[in-house]
Structures are given as structure tokens and as C-alpha cells.
Structure 1
């Protein structure tokens, strides 16, 4: 089984010399045998073909996912657990470790092993999977780890754009011409956009993590419901406010928010291994109150989301493979125009208690790569606690400023919730 990488996947893969790795860390209470861990990993590979795929190149140097026979197992690295924050140190190591994708799958596993408690990390190349897919195979891994005989089914994998875009659209002559025209215009424009002579030196990468307890998380959700805005909009507004407070005029007042393509393309199932994403950009109106700004931002979210057309976006991108080099150059060497990427995975629907162990927490994913501004915040909610991962690089956002942004964001949210409670 094999398929050619889509445009977005090729962009994330790059030339293979620079890592673009995502990490899902989680903490389990219990004791585990190595053979059971490896069996669970083998079973999710058996279900998902692309979790066992290598990358090969054809005569035109175009990359393909190709599934070898026999299966090359997911590599496992075991380290002794010394403290609560080992998983953060190991995450940073894994960000910087390139996948040897011609020899091993684009996924690996780190087991930080302790007595009665283990921190575990799924590490995967971002071209392989997004956060939604990762949560699906994490859920399956836990099911099999608890019960080696658990039936997790078999994925019918996406083999190309034709498995995502309905044939009535994909084969429509007018739609095809439109996609090709937009693609050509974009490719020409990208070619002539001025960029720096070399990519920005990102210097040292860093990782900042924190949680809101159940009470604060519940208050935050209640506040958003009362304001008739989503948690994503509220946190985006709070993040922009924090950037403005810390960076002043140097802040861009822009945050990029990924939108799950599964909301629009029913062909992509929850357990499909897939990495294509949509994006909207949000800004705040600094001339109105925070509460009024929330309403305006929510309207903007709904307006922009309603205009998203994943099928046309995919068709346009697939018409532009020859522009990949220029597009990548623009991302790497172009001037940064946004403060941060912010992703909210929402409530993680994975059980807490199993027969053989319990899940103490699932930390929010982290991801870092070479395509421009690395400043990223990811949040998720598990067991009623909202969890935050904030990552970046000194060359884009100094660590001291990132800490100040975190502190300002936490303070402003707490003050807002305290004020709302009084009212």
C-alpha cells in the first residue's frame, strides 16, 4: 500500500533534514510490562496503515507513504522517571530529533518509567497526523494496553484527494478550472513576494506548561456560556490582550487558529490518520471593552468559519505542487505577521479509569517546526482541568516575554472570572 503525499504533507515533511514533530504526553498510574506496551503499539499499527509507513521517493523525488511488509515496529525509548517534569525535558529532546523516515515509521514512543506511575509520550511527524488523529490512536493504545484482546477495528485509510473531495466536486470541470486558476495566481504571487536572504535564526526553543484546576476551568466555561462565546474565542482574546500588554506596539494583534477539517468533510473519520488543516486568523478591537470585543470576535469567527471551503482549498493546493519550494521559502524566510498560533483541542473524550490502570492526566500536545514563527499555544481539557502548552523560540519571542505573557494571561482570566462571580 502506498500513496503520494499531499501538498500540505509535503510542506510539513520538508526535505527530511529538519524535524517538525508533535508530541502527546500522558501520565498513567499502574505498573506495566514492556511486552504489553509493545503489543498495544503493534495493534494500533495493525489498524492504521500509515502508522507503519515509511517515506520513499520516486524518480522525480516526490515523496510517498509506503507500507512495508513485514511491519517495522514503532521504536520505543525507555528512561527512568526521576521527577514530575521529566516529560517536559523529554518533549524538548524529541522536538529536535529527526525521523529516519526511510528506515522507521513516522511515529515513536517514549516511556518514562517509574514505580506505580509512568509518563508516556507519543512522538510523531506532523506530516503524518494532526491532534485529532493522535487522540484517536491514543485512545486505542490505552484500550489495548488494558485488554490485549480488545478489538479496535481496522482503518480504511485515505489514499488520496479523491477519498476526501466528493467526486461531484473533484471531477467538475468548472471547479477544476477554478482551482487551477487560483493555484496559478497564488503560485505567481508567492514567487515574487520579497523575503529575507536567509531564514530567521530561531535560537533556543523552550516549553512552558500550566493548568487551571477544576474550579477555575468550570468557571471559565460558565463565563463563556454566559457571554455566548466559545472557549476558543475567549482564550484567543485573552492571549491577544496579553501579547499587547507585554509587547506593546511590537504586537501584531493576530492569532492563527486551526479549524478541524472533520467539521466540514464527513469523509474524514475520527480515527483517520490525516494531517490536513484549515486556518482562520483573529484580531481584537482595541477600541472597545473586552466584553464587547468578545462579541465582535465571535461574530468574526462564525463569519470566517462559514466561508471555509476545504474541498476547494485542497484542490487549489494539489494544483500547486510545483510551487512548493517557493511557498516553503516564503514561510521560512518571510516576515512574521502574527503573534501566535493557538489551538484548542477541547474536551478529550478518553476514559479515566481502566481495569489495570488509571489515566492521571493527558497533557496538551506540543509541536514545533521550521516553517516560520514557532510561537504556539495548545490547550485541551481532561478530567475537568484545562491544560496549556506554550512553546516558542528565543529568535521569535524571548523566553522572558513568553513567561510574562503566560502570567498576564492567567492574571487577566482570573480577574475576569472573579469579577463575573461577584456580579
Structure 2
């Protein structure tokens, strides 16, 4: 039974009991599915994943903690009539503001945008229990079970604390001194930092764009020809697009999350987990050449990933709980030093053909962060089609300006 304190990174994404930070993962299918199959599928998925059986207790202790509920209700299914091809995006934006506060209900929701021949299936979860890989896993599992309810899923035990991920040679005594120093410096930083009253009060939005297979092939072909990764080219293009659109107001940097499973194999690909270490990337000084900058970014990313001590990072974060509220306050009021958080989830590994329906496409996840700088770009590729969702807030980045940035970046990618 799970009963553990939220990790520092989970607490940041949790924010507080009154602030929803939900991620929405969407798949579009062609064909027929039954409501009865949803009940079976969601039951099996809930029995597999421990975090789909928990609530958050934010009252009983100093810091919030997960509690596994013995008699938790099934994952809810909300059915909406499908009228247009854009209904999924509207429902996605609606679900950003769902607060999972009922202790007897799971922190997950399915929305079925139901049409006569086409439907969208939306997984909705708070970001404090999931990352991008989690969302793809849950889409893969629900599609497989909707097609064949006899499939069995293997359950697993949740971890008790970040200590479960520490190597045998972890020098706890030495690291504790280091942690105390970092905490002292963090307290000093927040003590002298001037508090800002700036907040995002405008409307959150999401801009969506799916490229066709031919256009996507131009981008992947450019990467292969120049020995660069798609991720590096995306970073180069969007940094340049911000620069050309915003001029001196652009920061010239992106923040990129990296799948934690690369560093901690005990967290398996099909396990729910929320933490993703991040790296900061920028253009090469003295050049505006898109490909040259992408080569520089690729090299920089590899070097920074190699230096990342993820296990220590997780453990060190657990010593920073006294300043988490100040961290959250700073995120809500600081413009930050980056243009956008760019998460490229790459090629999505989910089958396309099923006995009873066809998976037509995957839409990139959407999320609305409460931070002042809530600029977020998520990209995925499915069925040889690259997909973009760009999210922000009208106060910080007007929607029309975001569209110009997105269009400019795509122009750079395919030029």
C-alpha cells in the first residue's frame, strides 16, 4: 500500500490543492468501440498502476503525501458527442481545470469524444503523477484492451521513497553535508530575492498543427543528411523563430525534459512516473545557420545528459522541501531565462491496426501551467506525421504572436 510523501518535483507540479495542472493525452480512432469495454479496460489499467489508486492528503502532515485508497472508485468515463474535428482540443482545454479533490475517486479521467465513425479518447491526469511516457503507455494499454478485453496486465509495486533508487555506494554522510549547503544557499537566495507581484491572469490556450507525411519527411531527411537529431533541429528552429519574432525580448534558450527512464532503468517504460530531469540548451554564438546550431545543440545535449546525476538529483531534491513553496511562488512570478520548454516525445510506439478499429493518429499532449512563463511546446510523430502543440497564456505570449512563432519555426524546419 502506498503512503509516501510527494517528491520535491511532484510537489512543484502539484502546486497546491486548489491549482489544477493537468496533462491531456489524445488518440483519434476510426471504427466502433463499446462503453462496456471501457469499464473492463479502465478496471484492469487501474489495478496495474498503483498511482491510479491514490489520493493526496495535504492536511495531515507538514507536506502533502500520497495515500492508496482501499475502496477507490473506478476511473470515470465522460462521454461527449463529437460534432467537429476540433472538439478534442476544446475538451482538452476544458479538462485543464479539473481538480481531482475527491479522496474516493482516482486522479485520472477519460473523455470519450464519441462520433459515429471517428472518436477521440482523452486521458486526463495531474502532472504530479505522470510524464509523457506515462501518457503514451496508458493510451497504448486502453486501446489494446478496448479491442480485446481478455488481455491481462502485470501489476507492480510503487516505490516507498527516492532512497529506493540510490546505488549501493551512495555516500550518504558526504551527500547530506552537500544537501545542507544547497538548502542554506537556497534559503539565502529566496531571502534576498525581491518578490514580484507579476502573475498570469490571461487566458490559457493551445495551438495545434499536424504536418503531413511528405512535409515530415523533409524534416527527417534534413536531419539524416546533416547527421543531426530531430530534437536538436526543433530546438534550433524554435529558438531562432522566437528570436526573429520577438527580437531583443527573446531569451535564446530552451528547456528540454529528458525521460528519467534513461537514467534509472528500475523505472520501467510502462510504469507511471512524474519526474523528468531537464537541460538548458541555446544556440552557438556567432552563427545563425540553422543546421550548424542544431549540430551544436546535439553535442551540448549529449554532454549535459552524460553529466546528469539523476539519482542524486532526486535524493537532493528531498532535502529541499522547506523551500518548495518559494520555488513555486518564483515560477508563478518570474519570466525565466528561456523562451519555451520544448518536449519532443519522438516517434510514438503504438500499433495502428486493431481488430475492431484503426488508430488514425496521436495528438501531442496539452497542458496549462500556472507559471508566468508558461510557454510549452510538445511534439510527437505518429504514422510518419509530426504533430505540434504550443501552449501559453495570453498575458505572457499573445496567441497571435505564438502562431507567428510556430509558423516561422516550421518554415525554418522545411526550408
SS at match of 1:319: coil
Distance 2:307 2:11 in 1: 25
Residue by residue, what CA displacement relative to the aligned partner does 1:121-180 show, whole Å, maximum 9, x if unpaired?
0000000110111211221111111111101211232222122222432x6322332233
CA contact (8 A) 1:183 1:316 kept: no
CA contact (8 A) 2:72 2:105 kept: no
Distance 1:27 1:354 in 2: 13
CA contact (8 A) 2:334 2:373 kept: no
1:381 match? 381
> Are the structure 2 counterparts of residues 191 and 270 from structure 1 closer, same or farther at C-alpha, using a change threshold of 3 Å?
farther
CA contact (8 A) 1:285 1:293 kept: yes
Q: How does 1:62-73 map to 2 (within 5 A)?
A: 62-73=63-74
Residue by residue, what CA displacement relative to the aligned partner does 1:28-76 show, whole Å, maximum 9, x if unpaired?
1111221111211111001011112111235324222112122311111
2:184 match? 184
- Corresponding position: 1:275 with 2:281: no
SS at match of 1:182: helix
1:60 match? 61
1:74 match? 75
TM-score, with normalisation over the residues of structure 1?
0.94
1:172 match? 172
1:193 match? 193
1:108 match? 109
CA contact (8 A) 2:17 2:58 kept: no
CA contact (8 A) 1:374 1:393 kept: yes
Greater mean alpha carbon deviation, residues 215-224 or residues 339-348: 215-224
CA contact (8 A) 2:200 2:372 kept: no
* Cα deviation, residue 386, structure 1: 0.8
* Cα deviation, residue 384, structure 1: 1.1
1:258 match? 257
SS at match of 1:178: helix
SS at match of 2:305: helix
Distance 1:15 1:298 in 2: 36
Q: How does 1:71-220 map to 2 (within 5 A)?
A: 71-169=72-170, 172-196=172-196, 198-220=197-219
Distance 2:146 2:388 in 1: 27
> Are the structure 2 counterparts of residues 101 and 271 from structure 1 closer, same or farther at C-alpha, using a change threshold of 3 Å?
farther
Distance 2:198 2:43 in 1: 39
Residue by residue, what CA displacement relative to the aligned partner does 1:202-238 show, whole Å, maximum 9, x if unpaired?
4011111111211222231221122222111100000
SS at match of 1:365: strand
SS at match of 2:291: helix
Distance 2:134 2:365 in 1: 12
* Cα deviation, residue 360, structure 1: 0.6
* Cα deviation, residue 101, structure 1: 4.7
Distance 1:159 1:358 in 2: 39
Runs of 4+ in 1 over 3 A off after TM superposition: none
Residue by residue, what CA displacement relative to the aligned partner does 1:276-327 show, whole Å, maximum 9, x if unpaired?
1101111113621223222222222122222111112112210111111111
Distance 2:83 2:37 in 1: 23
Distance 2:142 2:184 in 1: 43
CA contact (8 A) 1:53 1:65 kept: yes
Greater mean alpha carbon deviation, residues 22-31 or residues 289-298: 289-298
CA contact (8 A) 2:232 2:295 kept: no
* Cα deviation, residue 117, structure 1: 1.4
SS at match of 2:272: coil
* Cα deviation, residue 341, structure 1: 0.6
Distance 1:23 1:63 in 2: 23
- Corresponding position: 1:317 with 2:322: no
CA contact (8 A) 1:195 1:335 kept: no
* Cα deviation, residue 339, structure 1: 1.0
CA contact (8 A) 2:202 2:394 kept: yes
Distance 1:187 1:129 in 2: 29
Unaligned runs of 5+ in 1: 416-423
SS at match of 2:129: coil
* Cα deviation, residue 22, structure 1: 0.3
1:22 match? 23
Greater mean alpha carbon deviation, residues 174-183 or residues 328-337: 174-183
- Corresponding position: 1:339 with 2:339: yes
* Cα deviation, residue 87, structure 1: 0.4
* Cα deviation, residue 256, structure 1: 0.7
Distance 2:263 2:126 in 1: 24
